[in-house]
Structure 1
Amino acid sequence: MKAAVNRREFLTAVAALPLAVGAVESAPAPIIDALIHLFDRRRPQGVAWPPKDDPVPGISALPPRYRELVKPFGVVGAIVEEASPWLEDNQWVLDQIATDAILVGTVGFLDPGKPDFGKNLERFHKSKLFLGIRYRNVEGRNLAEGIEQPAFVSDLKLLADAGLSLDLTTTPKIMVRVTDKVPSLRLVIPHLPSARLPQERAELDAYMADLRELGKRPQVYIKLSEVIKRVEGKVPTDPNFYREWLDQLWNIFGENRVMFGSDWPNSEHVGQYSDVMTVAQAYVKGKGAAAMDKIFWKNSAAAYRWVKRDAAQPKA
């Protein structure tokens, strides 16, 4: 379970806050950030994300802004996760990625179970930069219902047969069901570090049992994303503040199936990119040099099969 926040832990964790930016070491290996978002509020049609009343991510998040941001951190590549359910935003992201080789691909947003899924998948998969899709319960979508529908499952099999992946943020129970139905599909789970765990003991036990079952399935990966928290106006950057729950996830999935993702610019609701990187690097560094390589680029290559686009990027 997540570590409880108490005053002693908080004071210890925030003591090093003035050193946060300096604490980010030069990357010992190239870093692929496996979760960022792109958008531009200036587009005539607007954007599906971020909401109009959310100013934090800024007017736009485009490749030049990201490239400049990550210069100090040894980041040589990133994967865009589509935050919009609008079909044509998949093409918009692909067009943005084409302008800058720091971006190695995108996880799009298509609708399994809809009549045009196969056509849309074929269209976007023509680009080697289209690495997979995500599915979210937004605008009437319901994964628990969908996974019981033959057309939905058939479309997920099309996705798997194409060598693409599926990103899901839902309960472990439903994700177990998805992998039962389509065992050949690579599944990527973002944001487990910030999961809201059930409070009732029986529900928590069932949740953890399902999570451990996912851990037994080699096609399931998780992202080290949404790790940092804001406590009393500060962001603790001591990895020990987050260690209890991170260690549980590490023990379940292991160093071969965890990958780093910043969730930028959504992460700026909580802290700076330097905060995200400080905590991630400090935590993984304690696992050894081999783990650093795996978490910061090798595992994302295994899950997404991204292709090197820039000389600074490693080749899987």
Structure 2
Amino acid sequence: MNRRQFVNALGILPFAAKGLGAQSAAAQGAQAQGTASVPIIDTHIHLFDKTRPGGAPYPRDLPGGGEPPQGMIAVPGRYKAIVSPFGVVGAIVVEASPRLEDNQWILDQAASAPIIVGLVGRIDPADPAFGKNLERFHRNTLFLGIRQGQLHLGLDKPEYMANLKLLAEADCSLDVDTPRQGMTATEVLVKVLDKVPSLRLVMDHLPDVRFPDRAIKDNYVAHLKELGQRPQVYIKLSEVVHKSGDKVSTDLSTYKEWLDELWSIFGEDRVMFGSDWPQSESLEFNSYPNVIGVARAFVATKGPSALDKVFWKNAGRPYRWVQRGPGQRKA
């Protein structure tokens, strides 16, 4: 996979990126987004600092090639400088590190950064100390829930399911990195919600799911449609722009068929925008303008109300995010 250095926050424009046409969906979308009145909530970013004592286990493959500060540091100030021109007023951090204390590091970073309106942390439901850890971090109002994978390993473990019930009772949500959970992910999630029906579920990165054959896709989508019937299930319009073969396309037509299928299942009330920053800048010609541009170009085909919901209002449905600064109004 080709890697490029992280773009300079204020120097990147969609028309300047090599290989992008002036009339690309990304360019049109990003240009329009820059003047939009919708106060955008980005529901999926990552923060880390691999130069701090102890470093950070994420990301393993640095998009910036390992050169500080861009390649090794992703902090609120840098993020804000990049996204402010696009009308982003708040962001929800999703913790990718499995280390318990990295949850606290994120909360410490967020304390002086009002642009961070919430954290989806990382606490393992298989840990006997889950309840204690949840209580500890949930004392901070920015702690909104957890992200967890490998849920199939806990399906038949009463203590695991009991901890997910604790999560739901705390009014927290569960995020799942869906593409990384394999082709049985949707089937597993149906079973999880059968056991914990009150749990709010957020499926990350569904636009990036790839199917090896039609039969596998049909089974996956059948369970996805079952999830679509459950009002507490939400999806993110994240990892929309990705690599196919040896190229990264910023043409909406590359992704629209699958996006339309997802939209038909979840509709405009249960889809949220997430940039996956800074990973969204890890592919050649990929950048925040392209990511938000392609996403906006797609949602614009669904009408003005859809833009308001996907980029702003819907974030408040699964996430109890915190208003911390001017412009961060809730729907």
TM-score, shorter chain, exceeding 0.5: yes
* Secondary structure in 1 matching 2:128: coil
Comparing 288-297 and 246-255, the one that deviates more: 288-297
Equivalence map 1:52-201=2 (5 Å): 55-56=64-65, 58-136=71-149, 142-168=150-176, 169=178, 170=181, 171-199=185-213, 201=214
Equivalent residue for 1:284? 299
Equivalent residue for 1:46? 55
* Secondary structure in 2 matching 1:154: helix
Q: Kindly state the Cα deviation for residue 231 of structure 1 after the two structures are TM-superposed.
A: 5.2
Q: Output the amino acid matched with 2:268.
A: E
CA distance in 2, matches of 1:53, 1:288: 37
CA distance in 2, matches of 1:19, 1:111: 40
**Cα distance change on mapping 1:143 and 1:23 into 2, 3 Å:** closer
State whether residues 111 and 135 of structure 1, in contact with CA within 8 Å, keep that contact through their aligned partners in structure 2. Answer: yes
State whether residues 168 and 200 of structure 2, in contact with CA within 8 Å, keep that contact through their aligned partners in structure 1. Answer: yes
**Cα distance change on mapping 1:42 and 1:258 into 2, 3 Å:** same
State whether residues 120 and 147 of structure 2, in contact with CA within 8 Å, keep that contact through their aligned partners in structure 1. Answer: yes
CA distance in 1, matches of 2:99, 2:23: 39
* Secondary structure in 2 matching 1:303: coil
Equivalent residue for 1:310? 325
State whether residues 30 and 313 of structure 1, in contact with CA within 8 Å, keep that contact through their aligned partners in structure 2. Answer: yes
1:245 to 258, 261, 268: 258
Comparing 236-245 and 36-45, the one that deviates more: 236-245
Normalising by structure 1, what TM-score? 0.89
**Cα distance change on mapping 1:279 and 1:161 into 2, 3 Å:** same
CA distance in 2, matches of 1:55, 1:91: 25
* Secondary structure in 2 matching 1:222: strand
CA distance in 1, matches of 2:297, 2:274: 15
* Structure 1 stretches lacking a partner, 5+ long: 1-12, 137-141
Equivalent residue for 1:299? 314
**Cα distance change on mapping 1:23 and 1:135 into 2, 3 Å:** closer
Task: Please list the CA deviations of residues 4-54 of structure 1 after superposition, one character each: whole Å capped at 9, or x if unmatched.
Answer: xxxxxxxxx954478955651122311000000000011111111011665
State whether residues 76 and 313 of structure 1, in contact with CA within 8 Å, keep that contact through their aligned partners in structure 2. Answer: yes
Equivalent residue for 2:42? 33
Task: Please list the CA deviations of residues 88-127 of structure 1 after superposition, one character each: whole Å capped at 9, or x if unmatched.
Answer: 0000000111111011010000011321000000000000
CA distance in 1, matches of 2:263, 2:175: 19
* Secondary structure in 1 matching 2:83: helix
* Secondary structure in 2 matching 1:304: coil
**Cα distance change on mapping 1:161 and 1:184 into 2, 3 Å:** same
**Cα distance change on mapping 1:83 and 1:185 into 2, 3 Å:** same
Q: Kindly state the Cα deviation for residue 269 of structure 1 after the two structures are TM-superposed.
A: 1.6
Comparing 24-33 and 37-46, the one that deviates more: 24-33
Equivalent residue for 1:224? 237
Q: Output the amino acid matched with 2:39.
A: P
State whether residues 32 and 78 of structure 1, in contact with CA within 8 Å, keep that contact through their aligned partners in structure 2. Answer: yes
**Cα distance change on mapping 1:151 and 1:63 into 2, 3 Å:** same
Identity %: 56
CA distance in 2, matches of 1:61, 1:148: 38
* Secondary structure in 1 matching 2:41: strand
Equivalent residue for 1:236? 249
Equivalence map 1:1-16=2 (5 Å): 15-16=21-22
CA distance in 1, matches of 2:114, 2:20: 36
* Secondary structure in 2 matching 1:32: strand
Aligned length: 298
State whether residues 38 and 82 of structure 1, in contact with CA within 8 Å, keep that contact through their aligned partners in structure 2. Answer: yes
State whether residues 16 and 238 of structure 1, in contact with CA within 8 Å, keep that contact through their aligned partners in structure 2. Answer: no
* Secondary structure in 2 matching 1:263: coil
* Secondary structure in 1 matching 2:312: helix
Equivalent residue for 1:9? none
